[in-house]
Amino acid sequence: MEFNSFSFIVFFPIVSIIFFVLPHSLRWIWLLAASCYFYVQVSVSALLLLLAVTAVLFCTGILIEKYRERNNQRTARIYLVIGITLPVIMLFICKYLNFFNSNIAAIAKALHLQYPVPILKILIPLGISYYVFQVISYIVDIYRGSIQAEHHPGIFTLCIMFFPKIIAGPIERPASLLKQLHEKQNLDFGRISDGLILMAWGFFKKLVIADRLAIPVNDIFNNVVRYDWSHYLVAAFFFTLQLYADFSGYTDIALGSSRVLGFRLADNFRKPYFSISISDFWRRWHISLSSWLRDYVYIPLGGNRGSKPRVYFNIFITFLISGIWHGANWTFITWGILHGMYIIIGMITKPVRDTITRLTRIVRFQSLHRALQMTITFILVMFAWIFFRANSINDAGRMIGGILNGLFSSVRSLLFHDFTGIQFFSKIMIRKTNAITIFGFNSKQYLIEMTILFISLGLLAMTEIIQREDDFIAMISKKRTIFRWSFYLIILLSILLFGMYSNTQFIYFNF
């Protein structure tokens, strides 16, 4: 089941009403049943697999705690290894085995060797990457002694399988949600109202903005040979916006639906495209993932302790794992490595950049300085997103090469006053089988769709500028009544009138 489906619109109110009607002692049973039903709409086999692994990890957590309290570190460490290895093996088999096989087969073919292992048809449970990171953090935290093992099998299973976050996060630390699941959630109409508003904002981002941007993005990225460098540039820019609207929209719906039920999940975004550096970007983008990688990969590797080469190595490995986590494709691995190199190069060049900043005295113009930093960061992030979205490394290379060549040719033409050499859109209209399209839109609908899109993007940008350091709900609650209700009406009408009801899957459902 997906959030942007009619089934969820029916499912969620029923779950919420019955949840508050039931006594506290039975609510966990109802939520667990609802979560299983939510997931079983995807696959019965995948649900059974995750439930089986969850049962094993529940017992493993208790055993780790038992032997740690007895100061039997050796046995506790054995169960720690089991608790980490089991979900990792499951993740590898389900998500990466065919990728591994295909690459080994390609190497064997290049060396004129036989590699008879075929590509297997393997079930890939939705949200498996999120599931694995959450259970690993639970097992590791018990071993570290930072949390106690959960002894209620139903509550533990519900914590891991809780339907708002099971498919695409956020990567909730089990300790936080476990505590809330034991507490009684009272009926609070103010909190329910806040949750519904946050959900509506998420639906607006997804249905009005992200799914509308998906049309030109998919058309260009899936047909790179039909387009030229200017279209590639537009596709990269549009995908940068689409991914944020799509993923943050999902997160808003997840956080909002949880808040309606009385639970608070971790925030996942903090205006990432206002970042002034790549490091700042990762403090604002997919926060639950970046903090997980920091706590369970980067710091255990040594963090920023040790020599500079060692720190650079730790950063590189952390972002390599980030890329691999996102998908079994060299495009994701390249994307992860690229972000790691951004941060490493930024650390190496910091003295030089600080010297340039001091000599130019640009810091006297703080707004200009910040705008320049934000622009450079946005361009670097957008460049990396090309690899993230491209169907293959070859497609990404073709698009990046085309963009660089096109920009170089245009700049050279400007320098030599050859204005005839500047052709930003050499072919804006693409003729297909039965129609002429502009960026994937029917030529008759293009202006209407672009008008809706840019007005919606303007509303999103304005909201994020006004939001400052508050979360969305806190920002809205501070406004006057007439502003709040006007805003609610605009969002509701936009969803009803301009939403793209194509039931397009959320992008991060793939991970």
Where in the sequence numbering do the catalytic residues fall? 326
257-274 burial: b if 16+ Cβ within 10 Å, else e = bbbbbbbebbebbbbbbb
CA of residue 129 relative to chain centroid, distance: 11
Rounded to the nearest 10°, the torsion over CA 36, 42, 44, 49 is: -80
First to last CA, the chain: 16
SS3 content of the chain, % helix, strand, coil (to 5): 75, 0, 25
Show the tokens assigned to 326. Answer: 């996102």
**Is the separation of the CB atoms in 351 and 359 below 8 Å?**
no
Cis peptide before 23 (omega within 30 of 0): no
3-state secondary structure of 127: coil
Angle at 315 between CA 312 and CA 316, to 5 degrees: 85
Rounded to the nearest 10°, the torsion over CA 345, 349, 354, 359 is: -130
**Is the separation of the CB atoms in 9 and 501 below 8 Å?**
no
Side-chain half-sphere CA neighbours of 427 within 13 A: 12
How many Å apart are CA 469 and CA 116, to the nearest integer?
Answer: 56
3-state secondary structure of 256: helix
Least Cα distance to 426 among 218, 227, 172 occurs for 227
Instruction: Name every residue whose Cβ is closer than 8 Å to that of residue 223 and which is 6 or more positions away in sequence.
Output: none
Residue 188 region by backbone torsions, left for phi larger than 0, else alpha for psi between -120 and 50, else beta = beta
DSSP 159-202: HHH-TTTTTT-----HHHHHHHHHS-----HHHHHHHHHHHHHH
